[in-house]
Amino acid sequence: MSTPVILWFRRDLRLSDQAALAAATREGPVVPVYILDDETPKHRIMGAASRWWLHHSLASLDAELREKGSRLILRKGKSAKVLAKLAEETGTKHIHALRHYEPWWRNAERDVAKALDLNLHDGNYLLPPGTVTTGGGGPYKIYTPFMRAVMEHMPPPEPAQRPHIIDAPATWPKSDTLSDWNLLPTTPNWATGFEKEWTPGEEGARKRLTAFRNRASNYDDARNLPAQEGSSRLSPHLHFGEISPAAVWHGVEREGGDNSTYLKELIWRDYAQNIITALPEYGRRNGRDRFDDFPWRDMRSAKSDLDAWQQGRTGYPIVDAGMRQLWTTGWMHNRVRMIAASFLIKHLLIDWRIGEQWFWDTLVDADYAQNSVNWQWVAGSGVDANMFSRIMAPLSQSEKFDAGGYIRAWVPELAHLDDPYVHDPDEYGCRPNAYPAKIIGHREARERALAAYAKIKG
């Protein structure tokens, strides 16, 4: 039997349209490995919600590998060291992996390549980040011209099928036991709502795509209505690589109709990745330097407001519904994400990075690139961003996008209120005692935010 090769999984937990797996199987026996690396990312280790998802995704991946005659080896530690040890145990220095672009993974890839034969492949994005450049050869920083340039290369190639069989090595190296990693919450188990909402793994991703693709042509309108099932809910599956963006693109296109709005969301995902490839510290550094001097509130005085936001107790029903949905399910409707983020930044004058970190810990689809780019877009601090002075009015947004049913579902204290009262029970004088008053008035918040912004406008 030939010497085995190592297949290094990270955020690419699938067998279909998996270029690294396809290349590895062509060479002979394969040793698939996933490394729980909390050392390389440092302050960017996966949040609690992501770890819940990871546990179930790894279990699903192992089951699918075993159907092909293989299995998943689990190891814990710094990736470069673990792979070097595994290479020694298996007698190979040959590793295949999909290329990743988060700064810590790029560092890890460089470290691994110093000692081992690391073969990197593309497949987590529609196009490899850096492929599409401006006329001057630099990276795009503005989404619209980037989107137009990407569209010239679309559609992506048809997704490749999974291999029929994966040759196993003569002997398997030792593996950790998944349950010993303690990725799941226990006391208390705050993820019971996750279990009702999600089915992590490649099969769960395929089912989500099947359920969504015949609704994709309605996405342009439905995505803004929190009370409707307008979103694809594919974001965590895409983040963990349980389905490729090419598979989603072709799955949606085959349904026909005008699916362009949704397909552009897939391009936005590529855009965000291109931004953090060009600006690796985008998760903690403002894209616009003048925001370095923005007068954010001191957290010693703002802590109670942050707590209210995190707990869904701001007195703004649409914001509270979103934050409670997030805590219960690990996900939030995309329109409500913008409203909730804007409220933290502009109504409460709390630094966007604090909100980004909360989403990093609580979202099952917490993605470094998209999380950073989206928060900076709302804050106005990004290289391509909404103007800070455009301050969302959460109460009118709630009515405009017919969020009454959404609020009643996630804020039970208001479940008995009809429209329009449920959007602003304070204003209509029907706020129940169990529901908090607004922590700040909209007009007061707007004036305070604009005064703060005036200090950095120059």
**Residues annotated as part of the active site:** 265, 268, 296, 334, 352, 375
Q: Which residues contact 289 (CB under 8 A, 6 or more apart)?
A: none
Give me the residues paired with residue 451 across strands.
none
Strands (E), 293-357: none
Residue 90: count other Cβ atoms within 10 Å of its Cβ. 22
Please state whether the peptide bond connecting residue 129 to the residue before it is cis, i.e. omega within 30 degrees of 0: no
Residue 299: count other Cβ atoms within 10 Å of its Cβ. 12
Kindly report the CA angle at 1 between 62 and 32, in degrees rounded to 5? Answer: 20
Which of 412, 420, 376, 414 is CA-nearest to residue 395?
420
Q: Indicate the SS3 state at residue 366.
A: coil
| 48-67 and 202-213 helices, crossing angle to 10° | 100
Which of 417, 341, 414 is CA-nearest to residue 380?
341
